[in-house]
């Protein structure tokens, strides 16, 4: 049963590592896509256009400086890269532990650290997005961030077994 649990934990960690690695790849190859989305949310463009009365109340929250948009985007890239690194190290550590060549606790601990970073990344988007009231006009993004946060929490729960 212990081997099955370790393999399950390895797969759970590997799936979020792969998913985030693909996102990081796209952010590195096509940075304008997500940089423009971050800028749009921080400027509160859609809220300004679609909900002008509500925007008037919260307009002081809008951030229009493109340098700050870029700093936020680069910070996201760094967190994604660190998270991917820790997740993949966790996958390797779990595989080595499953082979009996390393500590199971060390493998689980490293994978759990990666899953915690993954969860924190998406929770950070939810918190930041809430500051900019993105639930007014970016429901799909908010839903994605919520689902990724839940995936991270689920992975953390799986990794705490054993």
Residue 107 parent element (H or E): helix 104-131
Per-residue model confidence (pLDDT) at position 88: 98
**Residue-level pLDDT, tens digit, the chain, 162 residues:** 789 999 999 999 999 999 999 999 999 999 999 999 999 999 999 999 999 999 999 999 999 999 999 999 999 999 999 999 999 999 999 999 999 999 999 999 999 999 999 999 999 999 999 999 999 999 999 999 999 999 999 999 999 998
When divided into structural domains, the chain yields a total of 1
Domain span including residue 118: 2-159
Q: Residue 102: which region, alpha, beta or left (left: phi > 0; alpha: psi -120 to 50)? A: beta
Tell me how far apart the alpha carbons of residues 85 and 44 are, in angstroms, rounded to a whole number.
Answer: 32
pTM value is 0.95
Residue 83 parent element (H or E): helix 66-98
């Amino acid at each position: 049963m212990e081997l099955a649990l370790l393999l399950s934990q390895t797969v759970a960690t590997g799936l979020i590592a792969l998913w985030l690695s693909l996102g990081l790849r796209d952010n590195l190859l096509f940075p304008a896509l997500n940089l423009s989305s971050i800028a749009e949310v921080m400027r509160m463009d859609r809220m300004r256009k679609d909900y002008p009365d509500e925007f008037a109340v919260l307009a002081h929250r809008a951030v229009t400086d493109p340098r700050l948009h870029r700093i936020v985007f680069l910070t996201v890239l760094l967190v994604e890269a660190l998270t991917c690194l820790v997740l993949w190290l966790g996958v390797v550590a779990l595989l080595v532990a499953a082979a009996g060549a390393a500590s199971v606790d060390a493998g689980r601990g490293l994978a759990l650290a990666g899953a915690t970073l993954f969860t924190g990344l998406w929770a950070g988007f939810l918190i930041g997005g809430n500051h900019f009231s993105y639930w007014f006009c970016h429901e799909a993004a908010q839903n994605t961030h919520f689902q990724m946060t839940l995936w991270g929490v689920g992975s953390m729960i799986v990794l705490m077994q054993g």
